[in-house]
Each structure stands twice: as C-alpha cells, then as structure tokens.
Amino acid sequence: MKKIVITIDGYSSCGKSTLARQLARQLNYVYIDSGAMYRAITLYFIYNRVQWELPEAVAEALSNIELEFVPNEQTGFSEMHLNGENVEHQIREMLVADKVSDVAAIGAVREFAVAQQQKMGAQKGIIMDGRDIGTTVFPHAELKIFMTADTAVRVERRFKELYAKNPQITIQEVKENLERRDYIDTNREISPLRKAEDAIILDNSNLTMDEQLDLAIQWVDDIL
Ligand code: C5P
C-alpha cells in the first residue's frame, strides 16, 4: 500500500504526540517526536554548560552530539538516546522545558535537527510532530494536521502529566511555561510555529482520543 508522510504541528501540550502514537500504531508507521531532539540538545547544553549565545560554542557542542531514537521493546515506541544514553525521562523535566524554546530558536540547532528529520522521512511511512514539520521539514507532506486546544485544557493536561512525576509542581508554573514556550515558538525568526496553508486544523478541546483518531484515519483514507 502507498505510504505517505504525515505532519502534526501545534502549540505545546495539544496532544500531538498522543494522537501521533495512536495513528502510527494503527497505520504501522514510524512515529518521530521532533521535540525530543530539541529537548535532548538542550539537556546536553545544560549538562555541559554550553554558552549558547556564542555561535562557536554551539557549533562545537553540536559536533559532539549524537541523537538516536531507539525503540522500547515493551511499549514499541522510540525513546531518545543522547550519545548512547537513554535520556527519555530527563528531557521531560522542567529544567529542560524551561530552556528548550530558547535553544530551539538558534539557527544552527535547527539546521542540525532538521537535516536529521528530513533523512528519517525519506522512506515515507512516517508521522512526525513538532512546530515546523509541515512548513519547513516536510513542506510536501501528503497530510498535514495543525492541532490546537484551549489553553486551560492544555495546562490541565500537562499539569497532570508532570504532577505524576513531580508533586511539587504547581499549575501556575506549568501555565507560565506553556505560555512562554508558545510565545517564543511563534515569534522566533527561523521557522516559527505556523499553520501550513494546506494543513487541516484539529481543535481537540472537546474531542475524545477515539474521535480524534477517527478523524485522522478518515483524512488518511481520503488520500490513499
Ligand atoms: O513538542 P515538545 O513540547 O516536546 O517540544 C519542545 C520544544 O521544542 C518546543 O517548545 C519548541 O521550542 C521546540 N520544537 C521546535 N520545533 C519542533 C519541535 C519542537 O522548535 N519541530
């Protein structure tokens, strides 16, 4: 059967990765979480005290970074490995969330990540989520989805996720982080978060997972 490229872009905590995972399972496609790459680069920069306002420091750091998605045998989903180490848990922490949008706004960082993302999509049969996937990474993707949801719904979702691992976290902290990231992601110079002209909007504020999946499958069927 014909394989396509599916992109899912949108604001933070819209449920992009949840939908992407379900869709990948249903279609037997590869799912790539592009945000995990920016998070892993940020983790490296923090651990190694990289002065990311200096272009030479960024170039040197990037030359020492190897990113790999390694499937978890139990879940079947890929996890982020940074220089051979599984960093899937560390990259989800607030320490990284606080800085990732600043790091992701750096041109050299984006070039580094985008080149790898485009290679991963060369075989098709891929679903990638992020902020610039339908606009910059795969501008010719067959199906582009732009996800959105009410801020309150998004904050609640992310809070629940983070609270399970860190009960110290507050709603206010989560809200500020989401709003700050959305602001930087939409206003940065290079590949800001935008809906691609040919993307379909999916507002999932009031949709169940099954309803979202049904819609997405319908859109895929319409193409194939
Ligand atoms: O998707 P996630 O929330 O994990 O992404 C973390 C951050 O990485 C985003 O807030 C954004 O700054 C950056 N990002 C990006 N481009 C992508 C994916 C993520 O700039 N394609």
In a domain? residue 170: yes
In a domain? residue 214: no
CATH number at residue 135: 3.40.50.300
Which residues are paired to 209 by β-bridges? none
In a domain? residue 151: yes
38-75 pLDDT, tens digit each: 999 999 999 999 999 999 999 999 999 999 999 999 98
* The ligand 1 atom nearest the CA atom of 13: 3
* pLDDT tens sequence for the chain (224 residues): 789 999 999 999 999 999 999 999 999 999 999 999 999 999 999 999 999 999 999 999 999 999 999 999 998 889 999 999 999 999 999 999 999 999 999 999 999 999 999 999 999 999 999 999 999 999 999 999 999 999 999 999 999 989 988 899 999 999 999 999 999 999 999 999 999 999 999 999 999 999 999 999 999 999 99
In a domain? residue 64: yes
Q: What is the pTM of this model?
A: 0.96
Residue nearest to atom 11 of ligand 1 (CA): 101
Residue nearest to atom 3 of ligand 1 (CA): 12
Residue type (1 letter), 104: A
Q: Is 130 in the pocket of ligand 1 (CB under 6 A)?
A: yes
3-state secondary structure 35-86: HHHHHHHHHHHHHCCCCCCCHHHHHHHHCCCCEEEEECCCCCCEEEEECCEE
Q: Model ipTM?
A: 0.99
* Ordered DSSP codes for 127-163: EEEESSIIIII-TT-SEEEEEE--HHHHHHHHHHHHH
In a domain? residue 215: no
In a domain? residue 213: no
What is the Cα gyration radius of the chain?
17
Nearest CA among 176, 145, 206, 166 for reference residue 19? 145
164-176 pLDDT, tens digit each: 888 999 999 999 9
92 and 39 in contact (C-beta within 8 Å)?
Answer: yes
For residue 98, give its domain range.
5-208
In the reported structure, the alpha carbon of residue 144 is separated from the centroid of ligand 1 by a whole-number distance in angstroms of 17
In the reported structure, the alpha carbon of residue 101 is separated from the centroid of ligand 1 by a whole-number distance in angstroms of 7
The structural domain count of the chain equals 1
Q: Is 38 in the pocket of ligand 1 (CB under 6 A)?
A: yes
Q: Output the pLDDT for position 69.
A: 96
In a domain? residue 223: no
Q: Is 121 in the pocket of ligand 1 (CB under 6 A)?
A: no
167 and 30 in contact (C-beta within 8 Å)?
Answer: no
